[in-house]
Structure 1
Amino acid sequence: MQIQSVEVFVFKYDHHYRIGGHGDAPNRLPGTDYYFEPQWQHAYSRLTESCLVKITTDTGLVGWGEGQAPLVPEVPATLIARLLGPALLGMDPRNPHAVYDRLYHLNHVRGHYASYTIDAIAAIDIALWDIKGQAEGIAVNQLLGTVHHPELPQYVSGLRLPTRAERQALAKEKVSEGFKGVKVFIGDTAENTIRECAAIREAIGEEADLAFDAICRHEYQAAYEIGLGLDELRAAWFESPLDPEDVAGHSKLAKAIKTPLAIGEPLRTVREFEPWIKQRAMQVAQPDIVRCGITGGQRIIAQCSEHGLRIAPHLGVCTAIGVAATWHVTAVVANPVPQEHQLDMFPTANKVLTSPLKVEGGRAIVPTGTGLGISVDEDFVRAHSAEHWQITPAGIKWQEGGVGRVNNVLLG
């Protein structure tokens, strides 16, 4: 079996993630869909954006993958179209580990061994696992090991409502439906953060999980004060409290508070996780499968598990292709933290499928078909893609807006 063609879609759907709990896009960057929330340093998009990949084999099997790119998905798409995709042609898709390593080494000597490069490889990698599962007639999770959780307990990530009373009511409602808990992020002072978390704890009771994500907002002292407050509230974990590059600061904080630190969203490879493990800067590892791929994610999970860390695959802005891949990986983790569930994103994520993924009673129902077990609505993907690349031995075709002109670029 050989890879015959690679297609890349710059997916952009008109749905706002509403990280700040509102529908506005303040501080908009001129000429873009990107903006800054005043309480965080990072840019966000008023659209749902991602990089989707379709790989077709000479046997007719087709695999779909996704590289999470909530900002500028054109970057991983171009990497795939101009470098990684042409390198894939003719390779056997049934050995994702070998393909992953080949793609990783194509450009890493030049310093490209993280960020968008791994996002691009992740999209390809997920599609290869989809093909491998179909070729062997089993689900991806069965390829990865023992399936411990065909249904995954979940927690609700974020409460995007304007008032505290509304957020309390939503948290209480979701826990009563069967979700294991709630993760809070509000981007406020230490005092107000503790007050908010205490209110949510009161709403969900003592048995449900309460977590807080600072989204890398705080300096050490404020994070320490929040940590002490979370200790009192018996929080499940404290996520991304400090600057994402401050390994030493996280290590110091991890030793100073009782609440476990959860880290991993910005990290994409085992090498990036290594200093955090060595300096004991986290207790909960959060590899993001749509950023590190299934192959990279499995390697990260193995390394972190060897050092006694709990595993909590992160799940942010993506489509149901990435959600399905994440669920398959989490299903084989023996004792995972409940799976992250993006309440407001989930209906939008499902729009790329002909049959939606299911959440019942607060639990994710892992697809049971072959490969990822999903059927992608390609017409929908094309209709909501700003760019479409097709890479074959004959050359590279680029199409704008799904219905625009086609440019032929000869390989070599």
Structure 2
Amino acid sequence: MKIERVDIYIYKLDQHYQLRGMTETPGLLPGTNYFFEPHWRQAYSRRVESCLVKVTTDTGLIGWGEAQAPILPETPASILKHLVGPFLIGRDPLERSVINDQLYHINNIRGHESGFTVDAIAAVDTALWDIAGRHHGVSIARLLGGPFRQELTAYVSGLRQPTLDDQAEAARGYVDEGFAGIKLFLGHGLPVDRKTVRRIRESVDPETRLFADCLWRYRMDEAIRLARELESLDYEFLEAPLAPEDLAGHRQLVQSLDLSIAVGEALRTAWEFGPWIHEPRALGIAQPDVVRCGITNTVKVSHLCEAHRIPVAPHVGVCTGVGMAATWQVAAAIPNFLIQEYQLQLLERANTILSTPLEVHGGKLIVPDRPGIGVDVDKSALATVTDETITVTGG
């Protein structure tokens, strides 16, 4: 079996993915859909953007993967078109570990050991795992030796209602639906954040698991003050409190607190995670993201964490049903799984490109027990949200 074709889809869905109830788009960059939310430094898009890949073999087997690209999906698409795709043509898709290793070393010495390059590799890595599962007739969770679980405990990521009263009401509703917990997006300044975390804790049952994400917004002293508040309110973890490059600061924070510090969405390989995991630790919970790491690297990171008794809570950001399905498969197969991030506002639209949609019952994410990633893509539906399609063949 050989790879004979790689199709790349630049995905752009007309849906404004709101972080915290913001409907306006201030700071819009001229001629683009990219803007800045009032409280955060990173850019966002008025549309849901991503990069999908379909790998086709000479036997007719196909596999789907995704490179997360909430902005600039054209960048991983270009890497796939000009480098990764041509590399794959004629290769045996079942040699996924060899391919992943060789692709990583194509350009890592030039400073491309992370970022868009690894995102592109992650997409084809997932597609190759999908092919392997379909070839063997089993889900990726089973291909990985699982599943440890067939449904995932999940938390709703973000309260996106416009007012705090609305958010408190929504939180109660999500708990009533059966979700285990809720994660709040903070970083609005300590007075506002303190008011928010107190109000949401008061609005739900004491048993409800609560988490907080600062989106890398605070200084060390601010993060410690906020974390002390979260500890008193029995929050379970504080995510991304400091700048993503601040390894030393996160180490100091971990040593200063009882509250777990969660980190991972900006990291992509076991080499990047290693310094955060080895003593002195800079995280208490690891959050690898399959659509940035790929399945191979996510599993490596999970094994590294298991060896250090660190739980894994897989990250899920802006992505399609392909990325979600792949994430759920991996989460089902790792022994040190803690809880799964769930993007409630994205799932309905994410399912529109799937002919076999993902399911959520009673707040639990149901892991498909079908071959590969467990879902099939509706190509007609995908065409309606594809800005550009690129094909790589051996011709």
TM-score, normalisation: structure 2: 0.98
The alpha carbon displacement at 1:335 in A equals 3.9
Do 1:131 and 1:371's aligned partners in 2 also have CA atoms closer than 8 Å? Answer: yes
The alpha carbon displacement at 1:28 in A equals 0.3
Whole-Å Cα distance in 2 between the matches of residues 297 and 133 of structure 1? 17
Cα deviation per residue 1:45-100 (whole Å; 9 max; x = unaligned)?
Answer: 01000010001000000111001010100000000100010000011111211111
Q: Secondary structure at the match of 1:25?
A: coil
The alpha carbon displacement at 1:195 in A equals 1.7
Whole-Å Cα distance in 2 between the matches of residues 21 and 93 of structure 1? 43
The alpha carbon displacement at 1:256 in A equals 1.1
The alpha carbon displacement at 1:134 in A equals 0.4
Whole-Å Cα distance in 2 between the matches of residues 19 and 184 of structure 1? 10
Whole-Å Cα distance in 1 between the matches of residues 352 and 110 of structure 2? 38
Do 1:20 and 1:186's aligned partners in 2 also have CA atoms closer than 8 Å? Answer: no
Whole-Å Cα distance in 2 between the matches of residues 292 and 93 of structure 1? 18
Whole-Å Cα distance in 2 between the matches of residues 253 and 132 of structure 1? 42
Q: Secondary structure at the match of 1:122?
A: helix
Aligned to 1:143: 143
> CA-atom RMSD, angstroms?
0.9
- Is residue 349 from structure 1 mapped to residue 342 from structure 2 by the alignment? no
Do 1:21 and 1:160's aligned partners in 2 also have CA atoms closer than 8 Å? Answer: yes
Aligned to 1:383: 384
Residues 11-90 of structure 1 mapped to structure 2, 5 A cutoff? 11-90=11-90
Q: Secondary structure at the match of 1:344?
A: helix
Aligned to 1:308: 309
Q: Which residue type is aligned with residue 308 of structure 1?
A: R
Aligned to 1:295: 296
Whole-Å Cα distance in 2 between the matches of residues 145 and 369 of structure 1? 15
Do 1:48 and 1:317's aligned partners in 2 also have CA atoms closer than 8 Å? Answer: yes
- Is residue 282 from structure 1 mapped to residue 288 from structure 2 by the alignment? no
- Is residue 366 from structure 1 mapped to residue 389 from structure 2 by the alignment? no
Q: Which residue type is aligned with residue 198 of structure 1?
A: R
Aligned to 1:91: 91
Aligned to 1:190: 190
Q: Which residue type is aligned with residue 173 of structure 2?
A: E
Do 1:20 and 1:37's aligned partners in 2 also have CA atoms closer than 8 Å? Answer: no
Q: Secondary structure at the match of 1:293?
A: helix
Cα deviation per residue 1:198-248 (whole Å; 9 max; x = unaligned)?
Answer: 111111221111100000011111111100001101111000000000011
Q: Which residue type is aligned with residue 135 of structure 2?
A: A
Moved more, 263-272 or 195-204: 195-204
Moved more, 237-246 or 348-357: 348-357
Moved more, 138-147 or 320-329: 138-147
Q: Which residue type is aligned with residue 53 of structure 2?
A: V
Q: Secondary structure at the match of 1:311?
A: coil
Do 1:181 and 1:204's aligned partners in 2 also have CA atoms closer than 8 Å? Answer: no
Moved more, 385-394 or 54-63: 385-394
Q: Which residue type is aligned with residue 122 of structure 1?
A: A
Whole-Å Cα distance in 2 between the matches of residues 357 and 260 of structure 1? 30
Whole-Å Cα distance in 1 between the matches of residues 68 and 181 of structure 2? 25
Residues 190-269 of structure 1 mapped to structure 2, 5 A cutoff? 190-269=190-269
Q: Secondary structure at the match of 2:319?
A: coil
Whole-Å Cα distance in 1 between the matches of residues 247 and 111 of structure 2? 20
Whole-Å Cα distance in 1 between the matches of residues 390 and 20 of structure 2? 34
Whole-Å Cα distance in 1 between the matches of residues 25 and 341 of structure 2? 25
Moved more, 153-162 or 335-344: 335-344
The alpha carbon displacement at 1:191 in A equals 2.5
The alpha carbon displacement at 1:172 in A equals 0.8
Whole-Å Cα distance in 1 between the matches of residues 304 and 358 of structure 2? 30
Moved more, 321-330 or 167-176: 167-176
Q: Secondary structure at the match of 2:128?
A: helix
Specify every segment of 5 or more residues in structure 2 that has no aligned partner in the other structure, as ranges. Answer: none
Q: Secondary structure at the match of 1:16?
A: coil
TM-score, normalisation: structure 1: 0.94
The percentage of counterpart residues that share the same residue type is 45
Aligned to 2:102: 102
Q: Which residue type is aligned with residue 173 of structure 1?
A: G
